[in-house]
Chain A
């Protein structure tokens, strides 16, 4: 015994067995036509029913499942998309504003202000007796918040030779060594005076100026760069100051500056006022009124409306 071969197709009609039809079995027998057609319809409908059951999912009915999608109709979806875009935009703006507040509206940094100079004497001259030497006259200077006597020193610093083809410069300067002794020295060509030094003179050495060509520095120029404050510590003819270049422009000078003195050499009674001034869009200055030295200042420049 065999089963009829079914195919999932919708039969337009069911064959009516006529009185003249002989009884005939087999896969294509006339007596099996009706059953085959009904079986085809059943298979077709079963496939359709399975598809709908899958679409219904865990909902009780397909209608219930579809009702859930009604909440995200095209307008709803557009609104939801718009809300997401706006939220991302606002989040980005908040991040940018946060960065701008940290970097531009509230700028900060530190600056080191040297407040040292000569009270009297400390004049540098060329030595007449020692080859390529400088001498220092006696005097007094202020340094690290102290008045320091300068004993002077003959032939105390050497001017380097310049065998090259270009003019070079160095500085003659004072410093106090680890034993508390005043030392007189010169820098290397092109070098700045070290942080712990007090610049006295800029020494300009012509090209080809050496021990052989100019042993007593006749062609070397000494330029006085001393900061002379004969009224120290009660009166300064020019206050020490530090310059602060702002990374970002404030647009104008309408901003606030807050200062914090982190460290200084000298007693706190010598501090006096440390204050900002001369504000420009791209920077300002910090003045030291007292007699402290090596003043390390943390600054904050604030303009919330930027």
Chain B
């Protein structure tokens, strides 16, 4: 997994755990394999009233963006009953190394 910080100069203390394809960000669990799709998937984890949630950020504070690249396919030749070779696209397993976890800093409170 590629872990990036939105602001390199600021510290981020978000709790992150990865177990196989199960990613946990601040306690919010995301199964990356289940979320993968044919186009890029962007999942936002945000903080609302001190509780981390997986939902649009409106009103809350960003914690992390998880960017899952589009599902990859591999062409596989298959010999049909009529003896013809047919090429099918078979989805490849998700490559966790391609997933981007972008971490947001929590801003200072207004004075």
Q: CB within 8 Å of B: which residues of A?
A: 96, 100, 104, 202, 204, 221, 223-225, 228, 237-238, 243-253, 278-283, 306
Residue pair B58, A279 in contact (C-beta under 8 Å): yes
| C-alpha spacing A202/B97, complex, angstroms | 8
Is B107 positioned at the interface, with any CB of A under 8 Å from its CB? Answer: yes
Quote the shortest CB–CB distance from B101 to chain A (angstroms).
13
| B58 adjacent to A280 (CB under 8 Å) | yes
Q: Flag if B61 contacts A282 (CB, 8 Å).
A: yes
Interface size class of B (residues with CB under 8 A): 20 to 34
Assembled-state Cα–Cα distance A276/B40 (Å): 20
Q: Kindly list chain B residues whose C-beta atoms are within 8 Å of the C-beta of A104.
A: 110-111
Verify B6–A238 contact, CB threshold 8 A. no
Task: Report Cα–Cα, A251/B61, bound state, in Å.
Answer: 9
Closest to A204 in B: B97
How far is B46's CA from A278's CA once the two chains are assembled, in angstroms?
11
* B33 within 8 A of partner (CB): no
| Contact, CB under 8 Å: B6 / A280 | no
The answer for the CA separation of A281 and B104 in the assembled complex, in Å, is: 11
Q: Does B70 contact A (CB under 8 A)?
A: yes
With known contacts A225-B69, A280-B61, A249–B108 Cβ distance under 8 A: yes
User: Within the complex, which residue of B58, B72, B98, B107 is in contact with A283, where a contact is CB–CB below 8 Å?
Assistant: B107
* CB-CB nearest in chain A for B56: A278
Q: Are A247 and B61 in contact (CB under 8 A)?
A: no
